[in-house]
Structure 1
Amino acid sequence: MRARLRPMRGLKRLRSAQVIGSGHAFIRNIRRGHYELGVDTEPRLWLSAAFTELTLAI
């Protein structure tokens, strides 16, 4: 999250802090395999496979 916060020079609003925090938690959970998205691929490719499956579902 530091890489995201430095260019923004901190979070100006509570809503943006909630969005950044939720997105960060979602990505961490995908990487740890907590969702059944992209689990049939190699662990290092879970994130890209999960987003591919999400785009097809939407």
Structure 2
Amino acid sequence: TVKAWDERHLVEQLELSVGRDLQYIRFNGTLVGGLIGLMLHALIVLLDRGPAA
């Protein structure tokens, strides 16, 4: 049973069964994080300019 597996074996089995999904999640997380960072940077730059003269 799963309870009898040691940590290494458990991780190995999880990676075999959900490895592709984990890569997809990591990739999407990178893209979303990058886009949020870009939007925050753009917002800060726009706010630092102040009102147009």
Q: TM-score range by the shorter chain?
A: 0.3 to 0.5
Q: Which has the higher contact order (CA 8 A, sep 6+)?
A: 1
Structure number with larger C-alpha Rg = 2
**Scaled by the length of structure 2, what TM-score is found?**
0.39
